[in-house]
Amino acid sequence: MPVPTTPIGRVLVTGGASGLGAAVVAAVAEAGGTPIVLDLRVDAVPEGTDAVAVDVTDTEATERAVREAAERHGGLDAVVTAAGIDTPAPIGAISSGDWERIVGVNLLGTAAVVRAALPALEATHGRVVTISSSLALRGVGDGTAYSASKFGVRGFSQALAAETAGRIGVTNIIPAGMRTAFFEGRTEQYKPGPDAQLIEPEYVANSILFALSQPAGCEIREMSIMPATEPSWP
């Protein structure tokens, strides 16, 4: 007997103009859902996709953008918080502004989006998918801000799942390094080498859609996606 699945519906994606976010937008559209994008730059978003330019570190503007998106679409069925940044450097060399912005985008931006979307998601018994990292399982040198923010996203997700159990679904996705523009603009020491094992963002996007399509009453709380030889796995 086939297992019933939930339609994808209206999915708000932060960071949806590039990388994993763009892969999620494409997967949602292909599955018959309606992607809604929040990103700093939206010029690369596919034509016809609802997209709003917003900096997720601006809490007031972000919360307003989420509420207005829910109003335009008559509600939300899911939120995927894929916006994320990093500037790797020793803790004594990274500026306080860069350190705080990494945490602001990755952790505080995630919380702002979820907080604003919660009424709409509770109305539909919708789902939240947060994105942490394999570096939320094991920290590495020169990544204090990134690891702190992603450990925070994982803890936030667990607490949110406990707080909202039965009202919304919460899934934390833990991907390893992906083949995206995330590593562009770095010095060579912080770029993946030619033999680096990276996964395609589409693989992670497919896992996110799997979590979103679970039948009512069934939740995937956490999922790790990485190469079989991933060195950051504990």
Q: Please identify every residue annotated as catalytic.
A: 146
Compute and round to an integer the Cα radius of gyration of the chain. 17
Rounded to whole angstroms, how far apart are CA atoms 22 and 208?
13
SS3 per residue for 7-38? CCCEEEEECCCCHHHHHHHHHHHHCCCEEEEE
DSSP per-residue string spanning the chain: -PPP-----EEEEETTTSHHHHHHHHHHHHTT-EEEEEES--TTSPTTSEEEE--TT-HHHHHHHHHHHHHHTTS-SEEEE---------TTTS-HHHHHHHHIIIIIHHHHHHHHHHHHHHHHT-EEEEE--GGGTS--TT-HHHHHHHHHHHHHHHHHHHHTTTTSEEEEEEE--BSSGGGTT--GGGSPPTT---B-HHHHHHHHHHHHTPPTT----EEEE--TT-TT--
